[in-house]
Amino acid sequence: MNSRALQTTIIFLVVGGIIALSLGGFFGSASRQFSSVLIDAQTWFSSRFTGLQDFITAPRDIVSLRTRNAELETQVSQLQAQVIELQQRVNETEILAALVDFSRSNPESTYKAAAVIGRDPSPFLHYIIINRGSNDDIRRGMPVVTNQGLVGRIDAVIADAARVQLITDPASAVNVYLQNAETNAVAFGSVTGDISLDMISQSVTIESGDLILTSGLGGGFPSDLIIGQVVTIRNLEFELFQQATIQPAVDFTRLEIVLVITNFRPVDITPLEPLPSP
């Protein structure tokens, strides 16, 4: 072994021994001070480098972030539109489910569902327009209902639409039956959309909450369709009949989907009515 190789070996042994001793904790405070200086230097360089890197790369990041933000905002608005659409579908599904339940519980009638697409332009009249017409076998006079009760009857029909006269229309009159009192009466609409009951015999006792159904008299509507409940009663001794106001079972301001009873044909009793005497 020559002297140069011996020198290298000694250097390696010394350095290795120092490292081994420092790892073994024999240098104590000297080692800590040295390492802290190193760490401080490293921290200083690192923080400066990070700052410089941010300074150089930040504009590009802002652009990319803005782009990403715009993309996400677009996605959010699309998802919000989807949520609204799905909520509408859920509402429609709930209404349709209720209507299906209603039609199953009344199997004697056949129904055709229709969406409400408009109302009469005149505030004097209470009519709705539905999206079913003569192409769907809808005919004039057919009753229109929801799962809550009677809505009205078909007044005019074209190929793909029909106009329905609501029972709240001032020209509407429906023969009804008060279930608890077991008597007949007539339900009239009004310009305000309220329904009132008239032609109730003075000898009959009616109470608030009494259920009102169609009687089927006159042939305009099938019997036993729910109209509403008695709310207030007006009973004056000097009048021929009692009157009452009705809380309708159907919410006429929120009509969306209705059922047309297609197997009911109204009876025209006009020829049977007595002519006025001259």
CA angle, 225 then 129 then 248, to 5°: 35
The reply on whether position 156 binds another protein by CB under 8 A is yes
CA distance linking residue 113 with residue 101, whole number of Å? 13
The reply on whether position 163 binds another protein by CB under 8 A is yes
Q: Closest approach of Cβ 107 to another protein, in Å? A: 33
Q: Which amino acid is at 107?
A: P
Given a contact cutoff of 8 angstroms between Cβ atoms, the answer to whether 114 and 134 are in contact is: no
Among the candidate windows 21-29, 122-130, 135-143, 265-273, which touches another protein by CB under 8 A?
122-130
Among the candidate windows 34-42, 116-124, 179-187, 215-223, which touches another protein by CB under 8 A?
116-124
**Kind of pairing, strands 111-119 and 226-234?**
unpaired
CA distance linking residue 100 with residue 110, whole number of Å? 11
Q: Which residue lies nearer to another protein by CB, 102 or 241?
A: 241
Q: Closest approach of Cβ 55 to another protein, in Å? A: 52
**SS3 state at 156:** strand
Judged by CB under 8 A, the residue of 3, 29, 192, 277 near another protein is 192
Other CB atoms within 10 Å distance of the CB of residue 41: 10
Q: Closest approach of Cβ 191 to another protein, in Å? A: 5
Torsion of CA 232, 174, 226, 133, to 10 degrees: -140
Q: Which amino acid is at 199?
A: M
The reply on whether position 245 binds another protein by CB under 8 A is no
The reply on whether position 155 binds another protein by CB under 8 A is yes
CA distance linking residue 109 with residue 222, whole number of Å? 10
Among the candidate windows 2-10, 100-108, 121-129, 260-268, which touches another protein by CB under 8 A?
121-129
Judged by CB under 8 A, the residue of 129, 186, 217, 233 near another protein is 129
For another protein, the binding residues (CB under 8 A) are 117-125, 127, 129, 155-156, 163, 165, 170-171, 188, 190-193
